[in-house]
């Protein structure tokens, strides 16, 4: 990749031009937004869609969404968990390249993904979530973690979150991503325990123990993303309002932040589960078809060579 990908539409353009067709197995595929998004990806030529669920309902939804059901391979399994199990089996056994959640609860879906014998997470691996968010008022994509999996990440989980986010940003062509460790303040304080970890993580990056990125924290959102904030506050930072990656101390803070961006700031996102043997797409059933389409494009980027 010669130039960095700076928007989600550029991401879609890149995978459309790659001439690769990624096989995506969708568990409980009766969801309208999922069918609309994967249908578009199939018609755009970079995906083969395998829809697993009630064949009758899938075809009904296809009619409503004006998607030709003949473009998909449909596997008729009406039991919810059998549908999930079959989609995971296909990915494990290389009959599909990506797993995608459809109309099934996230807790049930992830429990199956985490199954030690039949799931997709290697032993001792850390599962996390990273999303790329596009915002009209920010000059590039923001990579955010963890918005979906780790409630209160410990120190080693924070390292994994950073490494996953950096690896994703590099796939977008960002050679040395700037990672901001987000808190309510830029000051290290015993009263806010994660700020002590942030200081240690920053020092680890400085010494090369965490590679291929620049890390600073604790920082608030202004210092991470607004170049004027460093001047106004008189804070010297290697990030200087130009963050590529935001790492949050808890799922509650990250999830609330990104959902606020979606609702109030016209944000769009592409996100994936990280740590699994192959890409896993997990999105809220309320997410737009556009965001699901971008997640599909992201899975194709992360699942293959650049």
Structure tokens at 66: 């004006």
Q: What is the pLDDT of residues 43-85, one digit of tens each?
A: 999 999 999 999 999 999 999 999 999 999 999 999 999 999 9
On whether residue 305 sits in a domain, the answer given is: no
Domain range for 59 is: 1-124+276-299
> 180: Cβ–Cβ under 8 A, 6 or more apart, which residues?
216, 217, 219, 223, 224, 225, 239, 243, 245, 246, 247
For residues 120 and 130, membership in a common domain is answered with no
For residues 90 and 183, membership in a common domain is answered with no
Tell me the pTM.
0.93
Q: Is the pLDDT of residue 290 over 90?
A: no
For residues 185 and 247, membership in a common domain is answered with yes
Tokens 């990806």 correspond to 41
For residues 118 and 139, membership in a common domain is answered with no
For residues 187 and 263, membership in a common domain is answered with yes
Q: What is the pLDDT of residues 268-282, one digit of tens each?
A: 999 999 999 999 999
Instruction: Give the DSSP letter of residue 192.
Output: B
For residues 143 and 267, membership in a common domain is answered with yes
Q: What is the pLDDT of residues 212-230, one digit of tens each?
A: 999 999 999 999 999 999 8
The CATH number covering residue 216 comes to 3.40.718.10
The CATH number covering residue 113 comes to 3.40.50.10950
């Amino acid at each position: 990749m010669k130039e960095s990908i700076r928007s989600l539409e550029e991401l879609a353009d890149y995978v459309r031009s790659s001439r690769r067709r990624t096989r995506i197995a969708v568990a409980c595929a009766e969801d309208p937004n999922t069918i609309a998004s994967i249908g578009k990806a199939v018609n755009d030529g970079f995906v083969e869609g395998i829809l697993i669920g009630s064949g009758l309902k899938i075809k009904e939804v296809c009619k409503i969404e004006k998607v030709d059901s003949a473009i998909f391979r449909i596997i008729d399994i009406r039991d919810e968990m059998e549908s999930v199990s079959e989609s995971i089996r296909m990915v494990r056994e290389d009959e599909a390249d990506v797993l995608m959640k459809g109309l099934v609860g996230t807790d049930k879906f992830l429990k199956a993904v985490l199954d030690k014998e039949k799931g997709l997470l290697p032993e001792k691996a850390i599962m996390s979530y990273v999303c790329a968010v596009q915002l009209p008022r920010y000059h590039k994509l923001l990579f955010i973690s963890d918005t979906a999996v780790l409630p209160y990440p410990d120190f080693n989980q924070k390292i994994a979150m950073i490494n996953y986010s950096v690896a994703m940003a590099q796939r977008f062509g960002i050679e040395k991503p700037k990672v901001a460790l987000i808190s309510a303040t830029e000051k290290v304080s015993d009263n806010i325990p994660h700020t002590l970890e942030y200081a240690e993580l920053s020092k680890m990056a400085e010494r090369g123990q965490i590679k291929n990125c620049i890390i600073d924290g604790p920082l608030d959102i202004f210092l991470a993303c607004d170049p004027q904030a460093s001047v106004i506050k008189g804070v010297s930072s290697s990030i200087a309002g130009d963050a590529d990656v935001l790492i949050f101390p808890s799922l509650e803070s990250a999830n609330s932040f990104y959902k606020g961006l979606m609702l109030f700031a016209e944000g769009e996102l592409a996100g994936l589960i990280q740590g699994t043997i192959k890409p896993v797409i997990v999105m809220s059933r309320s997410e737009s078809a556009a965001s699901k389409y971008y997640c599909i494009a992201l899975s194709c980027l992360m699942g293959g060579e650049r």
